[in-house]
């Protein structure tokens, strides 16, 4: 136990020092960005956006919403891996904003704070728009 705690900062600093350990591991992307949107980002964010219309009431509804917030936040991380990340600028910022907003939504769910959840939903929406404004080409 003592050794493990001791090793932690070393592991973290190696991670920072080499740029990113995660990028050196063999991560294989399977879905397209659109499939990620359809499978994860859109349904998970809809669950958060629906709170204004229909706030969760039962424990089951709160638990389901917590998992949606997790999926939403993690889908932002998936937008950042390997060839999905289009650049280190607006794409990265919008993806990270979505991760943070999803995490804020999760915090609000855990606190069962509907007002905070509505605020987090607005920030989530802003992160969608921030990316789409640059990268979603409409014909």
Is residue 66 involved in binding ligand HEC (CB under 6 A)?
A: no
Residue 51 CB contacts under 8 Å (≥ 6 apart), including other chains? 65, 114, 117, 118, 121
The candidate with the shortest Cα–Cα distance to 22, out of 103, 70, 82, is 82
How big is the CA angle at 37 (ends 21 and 80), to the nearest 5 degrees? Answer: 20
Q: Report the site for ligand HEC in 76-105 (rule: CB under 6 A).
A: 79, 91, 94-95, 98
State which of residues 14, 34, 67, 111 lies at the interface with ligand HEC (CB under 6 A). 34
Q: Report the site for ligand HEC in 101-130 (rule: CB under 6 A).
A: 124, 127-128
The candidate with the shortest Cα–Cα distance to 117, out of 83, 75, 66, is 66
Query: Is 11 or 22 the residue whose CB approaches ligand HEC more closely?
Result: 22
Query: Is 47 or 56 the residue whose CB approaches ligand HEC more closely?
Result: 47
Is residue 132 involved in binding ligand HEC (CB under 6 A)?
A: yes
Q: Report the site for ligand HEC in 1-30 (rule: CB under 6 A).
A: none
Query: Is 42 or 81 the residue whose CB approaches ligand HEC more closely?
Result: 42
Q: Enter the DSSP assignment of 133.
A: H
């Amino acid at each position: 136990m003592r050794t493990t705690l001791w090793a932690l900062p070393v592991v973290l600093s190696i991670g920072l020092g080499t740029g990113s350990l995660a990028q050196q591991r063999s991560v294989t992307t399977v879905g397209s960005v659109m499939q990620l949107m359809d499978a994860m980002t859109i349904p998970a964010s809809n669950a958060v956006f629906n709170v204004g219309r229909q706030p969760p009431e039962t424990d089951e509804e709160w638990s389901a919403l917590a998992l949606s917030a997790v999926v939403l936040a993690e889908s932002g991380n998936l937008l950042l891996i390997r060839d999905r990340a289009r650049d280190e600028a607006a794409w990265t910022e919008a993806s990270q904003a979505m991760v943070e907003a999803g995490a804020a939504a999760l915090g609000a769910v855990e606190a069962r704070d509907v007002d905070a959840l509505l605020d987090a939903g607005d920030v989530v929406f802003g992160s969608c728009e921030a990316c789409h404004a640059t990268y979603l080409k409409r014909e």
